[in-house]
Amino acid sequence: MSDLTDLYQEVILDHNKSPRNYREPDSFNRDAIGHNPLCGDRIRLYLQIEEGRIADVAFQGSGCAISQASASLMTEALKGITVEEFEKLFGRFHSLVTGKIVEGSQQDLGKLVVFSGVSQYPVRVKCATLPW
Ligand code: ZN
């Protein structure tokens, strides 16, 4: 299990260091700013939604490694899915970081499983869910 924890840690650190989709897009039709005063995390999220589907998603922000990596991995997971699928995925992600999904039934979360360890640190749950 500790090998897996190391691997998860590595993915989080990599996404914190080189966040994916970190930009202000030329065009977007939704945006939101999130702030987590407990930790000082700030995220601005940009979405281009076309016919109920997330055509493009990007973010900018600053804060702890968990919040930035969560935003980065989230943008990867969201591109191309429908708003309905997003809501379902967020429900699953929230259950993951609050420890409500048992090990072995997380396959549908893909790379997002790297945040499973967050459930052991309740103060970090807000960091991981802020971008969502
Ligand atoms: Zn944080």
The arithmetic mean of pLDDT across residues 1-18, rounded, is 89
What single-letter amino acid sits at 92?
A: R
Between 98 and 3, whose confidence is greater?
98
Q: Could you tell me the pLDDT band of residue 117, with boundaries at 50, 70 and 90?
A: very high
What is the Å distance from ligand 1's center to 63 Cα?
6
- In terms of DSSP H, where are the helices of the chain? 2-17, 65-78, 83-97, 122-129
C-alpha of residue 47 to centroid of ligand 1, in Å: 22
At 75-98, the pLDDT tens digits run 999 999 999 999 999 999 999 999
Whether this prediction's pTM lies above 0.75 is answered by yes
Q: Which residue in 54, 36, 63 sits closest to 90, CA to CA? A: 54
How many angstroms is it from 85 CA to the middle of ligand 1?
Answer: 26
From ligand 1's centre to the CA of 52, what distance in Å?
Answer: 30
